Amino acid sequence: MVFARNQWYVAAYSQEVGDGLLARTVCGEPLVLYRTRAGEAVALTDRCVHRRFPLSESNRDGDDIVCGYHGFTYAPDGVCVAVPGQTRVPRTARVPAFQIVEQDSLVWVWIGEGEGDAKAIPRAPWLDSPGYVTVRGMEHLDARYELLVDNLLDLSHETYLHAGYIGTPEVAQTPITTEVDEDAGVIYVSRRMKDVECPSFYRESTGIEGRIDRWQDIEYHPPCLYLLHSRIAPTGIEPGPDGDDPRACHAEIVYAITPETETTTHDFWMVARDFALDDEGVSEFLAESNRTVVLQDVEALNTLEKVIATEPEGYQELSINIDTGGLAARRILQRQTAR
């Protein structure tokens, strides 16, 4: 098994789930998502039990879905309530309905065994906090999710792959501290740059002139949620002893890494900021710039997937010091996959 199935995954942004029927595959499980008239998000297997027709290409009748092929009709709990031309509905006529939790503007789904523990879902409260403005997008990766995890756990690649955007020479030159909370299964990678060049991504969005202190504190909750707490401040400005930090700008860079298949991934990306809240121009700039950066990663990772597909069995990678966090992530993902 290549997926950690007994884990929570982001299936969609809340804003994507509405009256329409949204098709999305999570860990090889084809889902159809929609929202009932009462506002509840629903996720069902996206296959009619009769002849496999995708329910996402079917029609709604109130809160039910009517299969677009022969009319099998499913309630939000997945039970078939009507079949064509006969009154008796076969007892086994139902599609799996999956547990959903909506929080922080994200639609989380549990495709694992039994009932998932909603309290185990990691939080990203900035995404729907009134103190922050968030821009977001989602790109499709023709690459396995592990490649995106590797990419995000080692930000020294910014210097090379994202030069001129978020990468500056100092990113690859600054000491990093990696921590793993074994009990919680969380990985932290911290890089705190002092008196460094401000990349255009932050110079143009924050308006901070001159040299900066730049913190990159990664918090990865395998398998799905990746948080990058980014702090930008004029150099020498430190947070107060109580954590008060009004002279700094904070960007919470959030990724939801959701495997689609063994070799494709949904790459949800978000940038929540606590500065220039009313400036639509900053929102547009950050959305465009971050999407550009994400697409640089997408191109690189799609290339890597092709390389992997053509290499002989048993190829041995080489890991060095920059991979300390990525190796920790791999180990925890392997542990989760084995459960």
**Chain residues in the site for other proteins (CB under 8 A):** 156, 169-170, 172-184, 188, 190, 192-196, 217, 319-321, 323-324, 327-328, 331
- Residue 184 CB, nearest approach to other proteins (Å): 8
Phi, psi of 16, deg, nearest 5: -80, -20
Instruction: Check: CB of residue 80 under 8 Å from CB of residue 146.
Output: no
Give one DSSP letter per residue of 15-53, joined into a string: GG-SSS-EEEEETTEEEEEEE-TTS-EEEEESS-TTT--
Q: List Cα–Cα distances, 113 to 99, 117, 237, 316, in angstroms.
A: 11, 11, 49, 34
- In this complex, which beta carbon is closest to other proteins, that of residue 173 or of residue 303? 173
Q: Which two structure tokens, joined as six digits, stand for 244?
A: 């008060």
Closest CB to other proteins among residues 174, 289: 174
The least distance separating other proteins from the CB of residue 81, rounded to whole angstroms, comes to: 50
CB of 337 to other proteins, least distance (A): 18
> Residue 177 Cβ, how far from other proteins at the closest point, in Å?
5
Complex with other proteins: residue 84 or 169, whichever CB lies closer = 169
Structure tokens at 264: 């494709």
- The torsion of the CA quartet 144, 145, 148, 150, rounded to 10 degrees, works out to -90
Rank residues 245 and 305 by Cβ distance to other proteins and give the closer one: 245
In DSSP terms, 107 is beta-bridged to: 12, 102
CB of 170 to other proteins, least distance (A): 4
Backbone angles phi and psi of 182, in degrees to 5:
-65, -40
Closest separation between CB of residue 198 and other proteins, Å? 13
When the beta carbons of 78 and 325 are compared against other proteins, the nearer one is: 325
Closer residue to other proteins in complex, CB, 89/172: 172
